[in-house]
A = this chain, B = another copy of it.
């Protein structure tokens, strides 16, 4: 068996008594081949154990069948949900997802985007609106639809599916203020790497100032990906420095859970003595005891919408193309609403 080569389309064509072109058609959907011929060709292919060489097909058709996506971390339920939504949204189109993670590093993102572009993807999805200058240039010149997600960049490269991290975090600040808190802190990350986290921090602290409160209670030197461990450690430092804090928002639910358990271990009652809020609507925030107030950014939906935006862009390209500029913003700049989910960890009233 190992002696013989893989069969090609020509072999199948010969066995089925048709031309290679007809085989090519028969093995793809939406092509004009009679049912009888198609069945015969399928049988011949099965008999030979023939599998289409996607590499050759991609080369000949100038269509790779790939959609490339970069996310900061593969090990993150939020981004995984977005990737899942994108995969699902692309399912019927025959497009396959090429996934890579940047480790929250823009230089790594640039390398990854460059590697992806070699594969001639038919669209590219990136996380966030912050990129190196060269990466921006690569994306802009790629000649395929680009979707920035999880953010609302001031200067989008092309399409956007996201929300305002700053505004969502500001809403959480107001939530805490409304519950009577006055000594409010934020636990976040090293903004240079996690720009979305930095946006949240900015929005949160800005809202505190707008409410006339101090915004200096800040522990924000964690390196992303920000983990439960880091949240716990940050809470220790926060309490050491500002022991009279009554409420804290964390940059994600994971750090919020870590922070909350650290407080509980110290004997601080949540929410009575200390209110805790997170971000991202992870499962752990709902199941934790007490359940953690958070913001649901609809990560899965971001992926689904990104898929829709891509398919529309590709369909538009394939069409007459005359109306490309007439496409309304709502079709290329999609805002996904982030919802505040009040839970037990911020229930009751401070003071």
Q: Which residues of A does B touch, CB under 8 Å?
A: 1-2, 6, 49, 51-59, 64, 74-75, 77, 80-81, 83-84, 87, 96-101, 114-115, 117-120, 141, 143, 227-229, 232, 254, 257-258, 261, 264-265, 283-284, 286-289
Contacts and interface: CB of A to CB of B under 8 A. Distances in A.
A287 B257 contact: yes
A119 B54 contact: yes
Given A54-B118, A56-B59, A58-B55, A228 B84 contact: no
Contacts of A97: 99-100
Per assembly, the copies of the chain total 2
A53 B289 contact: no
A166 to B, nearest CB: 27
A141 B75 contact: no
Q: Is the interface of A mostly helix, strand, loop or mixed?
A: helix
A117 B96 CA distance: 13
A270 to B, nearest CB: 11
Nearest to A52: B118
Nearest to A118: B54
B228 A143 contact: no
Nearest to A59: B59
B64 A74 contact: no
A91 to B, nearest CB: 11
A227 B283 contact: yes
Given A84-B101, A96-B115, A97-B100, 11 more contacts: A1-B141, A49-B141, A52-B118, A55-B119, A75-B80, A75-B81, A87-B101, A228-B283, A228-B287, A229-B286, A257-B284
A99 B96 contact: no
Contact of A261 (B2, B57, B117, B289): B289
B59 A55 contact: yes
Contacts of A55: 55, 58-59, 64, 119-120
Contact of A75 (B51, B57, B84, B258): B84
Contacts of A87: 101
Contacts of A115: 96
Contact of A265 (B74, B228, B257, B289): B289
